[in-house]
């Protein structure tokens, strides 16, 4: 197997620094550096970008990002036990890796980064979804990042890239695909991780669009989509009736039938409907 750098194998790093995986921190480590380099390659132009990596752990993905030429990596790790291992990586790549010992949900990393910025992470799934939603809903668009390359439980990855008419289609798909191109770029079996989780995982790559795919006010769109999918089996005239007394007229003027159901409505159609509220 080709070596991606001259640092010790990750199993040795883990033993040497006593990094037994902690369940409470969602620690499932990737130890195959060829695999982490492959994930890094999915993130786009690393040589010309700063990379924000959340949850580096013992640094497998960090090493992949650096070996693949990332201009600079800012890694945010909550578990202080990982810092010595990450310092060794920083020493092997002088001036290219900075580590912050912090909770990624609590800090704003933008002041430590220079544009263009790409985000890459293999995080615990609950933290990953929470951060994804935050990154997709900034106060203004375009956001501070160019792309997101994130590991998810496969079922969540499928919800992000889902198309209308499928069971997985819902709020997450609309949120992600309204302002990004989103695709699953890798599938990983449980055995790719140590310890192995119960479920399969997938890497999703989201590339931001400079402007939303279709015009709509984000707050209005979000309200409509939330109401529509809260009762996804109901007809739109029922699930959306709380939004406006004349909802049936609005549905007609957006080219929708009041008897349609949320899971069949495209992002473009949801945006058409959102625009009927902007004229109020
Ligand atoms: N990236 C490493 C890899 O691929 O082997 C580790 C992945 S492990 C699934 C998740 C990592 O995220 C752990 O190192 C954990 O300590 C860290 N982590 C968990 N919650 C975090 C948070 N809120 N902020 C920053 N790091 C967090």
- pLDDT digit string, tens, across residues 177-218: 999 999 999 999 999 999 999 999 999 999 999 999 999 999
Cβ neighbors of 266 (< 8 A, separation 6 or more) are 164
Instruction: Among 25, 129, 152, name the best residue to mutate to test ligand 1's pocket (greatest count of ligand atoms within 8 A of Cβ).
Output: 25
Residues 152 and 183 sit within 8 Å (Cβ to Cβ)? no
- Residue 278: band (very low, low, confident or very high) from pLDDT cuts 50, 70, 90: confident
Ligand 1 centroid distance, CA of 57 (Å): 5
Cis peptide before 116 (omega within 30 of 0): yes
SS3 170: coil
Residue 150: predicted pLDDT: 98
The dihedrals phi and psi of 47, each to the nearest 5 degrees, come to -60, -30
Cβ neighbors of 36 (< 8 A, separation 6 or more) are 4, 30, 60, 61, 63, 64
Ligand 1 atom having least distance to the Cα of 121: 1
Ligand 1 atom having least distance to the Cα of 79: 16
User: Hey, whose CA ends up nearest to atom 1 of ligand 1?
Assistant: 56
Ligand 1 centroid distance, CA of 25 (Å): 7
Question: What number of CA atoms fall less than 13 Å from residue 146's CA on the CB side?
Answer: 14
| C-alpha to C-alpha distance for 24 and 194, rounded to whole angstroms | 15
Ligand 1 centroid distance, CA of 101 (Å): 11
Compute the C-alpha angle 197/198/200, nearest 5°.
85
Residues 19 and 11 sit within 8 Å (Cβ to Cβ)? no
Give me the mean pLDDT over the 242-253 stretch. Answer: 96
| C-alpha to C-alpha distance for 275 and 88, rounded to whole angstroms | 53
Residues 248 and 256 sit within 8 Å (Cβ to Cβ)? no
- Residue 70: band (very low, low, confident or very high) from pLDDT cuts 50, 70, 90: very high
Q: Which residues line ligand 1 (CB under 6 A)?
A: 25-30, 54-57, 60-61, 76-79, 82, 103-105, 122-124, 127
Q: Which residue has the higher pLDDT, 279 or 142?
A: 142
Ligand 1 centroid distance, CA of 104 (Å): 9
Domain 10-208 adopts which CATH fold? Rossmann fold (3.40.50)
Class of domain 218-275: mainly alpha
Ligand 1 centroid distance, CA of 150 (Å): 12
Cβ neighbors of 213 (< 8 A, separation 6 or more) are 177, 178, 179, 267, 268, 271
Instruction: Among 13, 24, 30, 78, name the best residue to mutate to test ligand 1's pocket (greatest count of ligand atoms within 8 A of Cβ).
Output: 78
Residues 141 and 212 sit within 8 Å (Cβ to Cβ)? yes
Which residue intervals of the chain bear CATH 1.10.8.100? Answer: 218-275
**CA distance readout (Å), 2 to 34, 36, 157:** 8, 13, 30
Tell me whether residue 83 is exposed, middle or buried, using C-beta atoms within 10 angstroms of its C-beta: 0 to 12, 13 to 18, 19 or more: middle
Residue 223: predicted pLDDT: 97
User: Hey, whose CA ends up nearest to atom 14 of ligand 1?
Assistant: 57
User: Hey, whose CA ends up nearest to atom 8 of ligand 1?
Assistant: 27
| Nearest residue to 202 (alpha-carbon basis) of 215, 223, 218, 186 | 186
pLDDT, tens digit, 9 for 90 and up, residues 32-68: 999 999 999 999 999 999 999 999 999 999 999 999 9
Give me the mean pLDDT over the 77-93 stretch. Answer: 98
Beta strand pairing call for 193-194 and 201-208: unpaired
Would the pLDDT of 1 be above 60? no
- Residue 126: band (very low, low, confident or very high) from pLDDT cuts 50, 70, 90: confident
pLDDT, tens digit, 9 for 90 and up, residues 144-179: 999 999 999 999 999 999 999 999 999 999 999 999
Ligand 1 centroid distance, CA of 123 (Å): 5
User: Hey, whose CA ends up nearest to atom 23 of ligand 1?
Assistant: 103
Q: Which two tokens stand for residue 29?
A: 């480590």
Which residue intervals of the chain bear CATH 3.40.50.150? Answer: 10-208
Cβ neighbors of 272 (< 8 A, separation 6 or more) are 214, 254, 255, 256
pTM as predicted: 0.96
Give the residues across from 202 on adjacent strands. Answer: 152, 187
Ligand 1 centroid distance, CA of 76 (Å): 9
Q: Which two tokens stand for residue 132?
A: 């994804």
| Percent of the chain whose pLDDT exceeds 90 | 96
Give me the mean pLDDT over the 74-88 stretch. Answer: 98
Ligand 1 centroid distance, CA of 107 (Å): 15
């Amino acid at each position: 197997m080709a070596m991606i750098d001259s640092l010790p194998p990750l199993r040795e790093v883990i033993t040497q620094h006593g990094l037994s995986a902690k369940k409470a921190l969602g620690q499932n480590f990737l130890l195959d550096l060829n695999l982490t380099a492959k994930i890094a390659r999915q993130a786009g132009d690393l040589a010309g970008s700063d990379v924000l990596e959340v949850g580096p752990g013992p640094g497998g993905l960090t090493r992949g990002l650096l070996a693949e030429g990332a201009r600079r990596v800012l890694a945010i790790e909550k578990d202080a036990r990982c810092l010595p291992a990450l310092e060794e990586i920083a020493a092997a790549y002088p001036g290219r890796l900075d580590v912050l010992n912090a909770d990624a949900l609590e800090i704003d990393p933008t002041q430590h980064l220079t544009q263009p910025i790409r985000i890459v992470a293999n995080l615990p799934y609950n933290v990953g979804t929470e951060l994804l939603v935050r990154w997709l809903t900034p106060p203004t668009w375009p956001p501070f990042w160019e792309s997101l390359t994130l590991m998810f439980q496969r079922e969540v990855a499928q919800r992000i890239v889902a198309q209308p008419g499928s069971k997985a289609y819902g709020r997450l798909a609309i949120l992600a695909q309204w302002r990004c191109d989103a695709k699953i770029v890798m599938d990983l079996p449980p055995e790719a991780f140590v310890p192995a989780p119960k479920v399969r995982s997938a890497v999703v790559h989201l590339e931001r669009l400079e402007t939303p795919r279709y015009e709509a006010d984000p707050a209005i769109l979000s309200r409509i989509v939330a109401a529509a999918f809260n009762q996804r089996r109901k007809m739109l005239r029922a699930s959306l009736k709380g939004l406006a007394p004349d909802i049936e007229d609005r549905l007609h003027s957006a080219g929708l039938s009041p008897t349609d159901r949320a899971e069949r409505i495209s992002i473009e159609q949801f945006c058409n409907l959102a625009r009927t509220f902007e004229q109020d």
